[in-house]
Structure 1
Amino acid sequence: MALFAVLIYASDSAHEPGESAETSEDIATCDAHAEEMSSSAAMTAAWAFTPRSMARSVRESGVTEGPFIDGADVVAGVYLLEAPDLESAIASAASNPVVHQGGGVEIRPVHSGGLVASDQG
């Protein structure tokens, strides 16, 4: 199986610190989708980002508030998806609720990498 990164684009993230599925319909919808994807063993990891107001960008000129590229949509989260090929990954990623809420997803094959544990001891 190949590994694909799915970047979730939306006008902003619904994952405000302290917000939970019990208080946000958008989060509940996303959580239900994540549960469905992970129970099928297709989604191997996922991260929801906080709203764009919490982002900081670092450039040679210094640190600024906000996302690196401040457009109409920002990356609201990312997950890793195992699929046999790009077409299958696209079909799976197209079921993301954000696609029907005015946002979209970007699917990119993962070339290399993974978690690297640092020796703290």
Structure 2
Amino acid sequence: MKYLIMVYGNPRSRAIWEGFTDEQRAEGMTEHLALRAAMESAGELVLSERLADPSTGTRLPAEPAALASLGLPSDGPFAESKEYLAGFYLVDCASRERAQEWAARIPESALGLVELRPVWSGDVTDR
């Protein structure tokens, strides 16, 4: 089964990262590269990407009429959260427990910035 391991960032984690020395940043990236290599060696990595800074993204504006018809208020075309998706690992594992093992090895998991979610199978009864 496929699982998406999402790695999040927020202003505080970004400030910590920017406060690191070049050596500390290189060490952090080395941890991610080693984890990626281990997932590849195990034959469980489907795809992994680091995303560019959120400031480089474009959020499509919501159509006010569409929001109103759904009864959804909005005060702008932006995410209603301080956290943002910083990167991800898509893995194909035999069990959720195995996917959790990989997720727990991501350095950001110690900060509570990692989420594991099964990929929807396409079955309409799947929740």
Deviation >4 Å, runs of 4+: none
- The higher-RCO structure (CA 8 Å, 6+ apart) is 2
Deviation by residue 1:60-110 (Cα, 9 ceiling, x = unmatched):
259xxxx9425332111122111112222112211112213x352111111
User: TM-score, with normalisation over the residues of structure 2?
Assistant: 0.63
Q: Is residue 7–residue 113 contact of structure 2 (8 Å, CA) maintained in 1? A: yes
Q: Which of the numbers 69, 93, 109 marks the counterpart of 2:118? A: 109
24-33 or 50-59: which moved more?
A: 24-33
Q: Is the 8 A contact 1:3 1:81 kept in 2?
A: yes
Q: Which one has the bigger helix percentage?
A: 2
Alignment check: 8 A CA contact 1:5 1:81 kept: yes
1:56 lines up with 2:58 in the alignment: yes
Number of equivalenced pairs: 101
Quote the sequence identity (%).
Answer: 26
Q: Deviation at 1:3?
A: 0.9
Letter paired with 1:83 = C
Greater fraction strand:
1
From the CA coordinates, give the structure whose radius of gyration is larger: 2
